[in-house]
Chains A and B, each alone.
Chain A
Amino acid sequence: MGERVAIVGIGQTDHRFIRSDVNHEEMINEAVSLALEDAGLGIKDIDTVIIDNMDLFEGHYLADGMVVDGAGMFLKPGLKMNTGGTSGATAVATGWQHVASGVFDTALVVGWQKQDASPSIASLVTAREPFYDRGLAAGAVGIFASMGLRYMQETGCEEEHAALARVIMADNARRNPHAHLKLDLTTRDVLDSRVLVWPVRLLHMSPTSCGACALVLANEKRAEKQEKPPVWIRDLETAHREVSVFRGGCVEPQPAVSAIEVACSRLYKRNGITKPARDVDVWELYTPSSWALFPWMELFHICEKGEAWRLVEKEVIRIEGEIPIEPSGGVVSTNPIGASGVIRVAEAALQLRGEAGDRQVSKKAETAIATAWGAASWIVVFFLSKHL
């Protein structure tokens, strides 16, 4: 497994629809400065810098070239990652690998997106195979529509349950000062919002946000010198689906293999997690649509297949509940895409530190799962713990 790796610094911007008060580099620097300040370290203490965003979203190739100073990369080793929606998690995984390998003592991981610059969906639809399904694809909305529809058909879940999931995430987001959408919603509001691609309504989809998030990672020797208690990235696992899922998004009547399920099964086995709902205290899943919550809960083995909507109905996923999921308000409330995967890990780490403020879960939080997901089905799942 290599060196043990801890999160020792956490920083994020307040995420907003428009940030015309800063350029890309300045926005990134806000998060980097906050993470270094939180760690009590300077940029000289950082051995390598891993950055990520969604290329093309700002109409700009090689974004890394323009943000070097803001990210603190000048003359340092490092990499730029891009795995679609998963990018932020891939960047954290890469930082972890750099430190776990023993080559670097510390790593700074920085994810960002500045969507006020962009027609993001125009960029996103170019991900589709141009001959076979660009002519029909409805972006991420279409993927979650087919997900939601199939879930309703197979389980008895109704639109009201997805609306309730959205209301719970909105309630959580209002307790998170960094969240973008802090909406005061009822299920009726969600059900009355306009249909994008049925059954996905406007309020079921994540916003286009501007924001950045940075983490400082350190090996055990460095982490022990820190003032704040470290949060350990105990383990992580990645898995990828075969490419054919991206052609039509529905190549098979019933996808037989889920990369999420494969990745977390391997992770659970290695770490002795036999009953995830009991063994994991807090969850930061990556749900760009409230409709994704149900299949995610089942693929992460939080409950049996077809049972997630019943757990949502019982509201046990709330901040005060037995199985708190997305206490931050989740991606459906805040989505600066390249930062979103980093934010999942950051928010899970804040929970384990006990520094999540108004959104701190009621139960004792000592272990967490954080993840990110993208339509290309690159999956990264992190297991975090307060103690080694």
Chain B
Amino acid sequence: MNGELLEIIIPLDLRYKWGAGPHLGAFLRGLKEGKIFANRCPECGRLQLPPTPVCGRCHVAMGEEWIELSHQGEVISYSFVVDPMYDAGIGDMRPVPYTIAAIVLDGGPDVAFFHKLEEEDPEKVQVGMRVEAVFRPPAEREGTMEDIIHFRTVS
């Protein structure tokens, strides 16, 4: 049988509700207060950022040792996002360009924090540069990663 090959468009607009749980919840509440918390494994002493309930390597509960990290740290890796990408949080394309970086915060040498950099000039971003978190004003914070606007260069 020959004929036209038919196609239909199927839209999918769905809403999901996720729970953060106590450990990630404590981290997000910390952001609302302008603080960045990691937690520490009682067995191997390794920090977890974001905080987790269990150490993946030792298979033990992480306990209640919470470490407040500095707002300042060092860029260990970075990239420039140029091509628009779907954002599963908003269900649409995210505005570009922006700079992303892995940052080792002072006080947490064995974990990296992942966020945006204010600096968008490729010539001015390098490994080893010092940066600091820029938080939104307290009244605008909602306990999300967006409570930090970005990291700016420390001159």
Contacts and interface: CB of A to CB of B under 8 A. Distances in A.
Interface of A: 20-21, 59, 119, 121-122, 125-126, 128, 130-139, 141-142, 145-146, 149-150, 153, 194-199, 202, 242-244, 247-253, 257
Contact of B24 (A126, A131, A149, A150): A131
A59 B10 contact: yes
A253 B104 contact: yes
B86 A121 contact: yes
Q: Determine the interface band of chain B, counting residues with CB < 8 A from chain A.
A: 35 or more
13 contacts: A130-B88, A135-B144, A136-B145, A141-B83, A146-B77, A149-B77, A196-B83, A250-B112, A251-B48, A251-B112, A253-B102, A253-B104, A253-B112
B114 A253 contact: no
A349 to B, nearest CB: 34
Nearest to B24: A131
Given A131-B18, A243-B56, A136 B79 contact: no
Contacts of B1: none
Contacts of A126: 88
A250 B114 contact: yes
Contacts of B77: 146, 149-150, 153, 250
A146 B88 contact: no
Contact of A197 (B49, B56, B81, B111): B81
A123 to B, nearest CB: 9
B26 to A, nearest CB: 12
Contacts of A247: 50
A197 B80 contact: yes
B78 interface: yes
A340 to B, nearest CB: 21
B88 A198 contact: no
A146 B79 contact: yes
Contacts of B137: none
B66 interface: no
A131 B116 CA distance: 15
A217 to B, nearest CB: 33
B140 interface: no
Contact of B110 (A119, A138, A253): A253
B82 interface: yes
